[in-house]
Amino acid sequence: MQLTLNCNLALVANTETPKTSSQSGEIFGILENMLDTFNADLKTAEEEEAAAVQQFTELKKLKEEQIARDTEQLGKENEKFAAATTKLADSEATKADCEDSLEKDTQLLYEMRSGGGKSDSRV
């Protein structure tokens, strides 16, 4: 863009009359100054954008690594939870069996003390 604008400025400068030469010289100076400012601003903006892209890329990489670690940890925690759930179910079944056995043993002991074992009166 800079080359095209400079060529256009030079073309217009060559077609001037002496009367407008001083006025157009001032205008060309202003336009060239504006062009320099725009080019400097563009360069700064491009540098800032490149830095922002690099920063974003680095942050994205870090976040993806963190997500991968957290996903792995979640899998481990889910395995622990499944093992604990299975152990709980097994423990509840064992408890139920023990309570059932206790009830039967208590009933048997009651029957034996209340006369179910008549052959031995000392019990």
Q: How far is CA 85 from the centre of its chain?
A: 29
Structural contact between residues 25 and 9, judged by C-beta atoms closer than 8 angstroms: no
Mean confidence (pLDDT) of the chain:
86
Q: How far apart are CA 83 and CA 77, in angstroms?
A: 10
Write down the domain spans for the chain.
2-115
Task: Give tens-digit pLDDT for 57-66.
Answer: 999 999 999 9
What does pTM read for this prediction? 0.52
Tokens of 20: 């407008």
Task: Give tens-digit pLDDT for 73-110.
Answer: 999 999 999 999 999 999 999 999 999 999 999 999 99
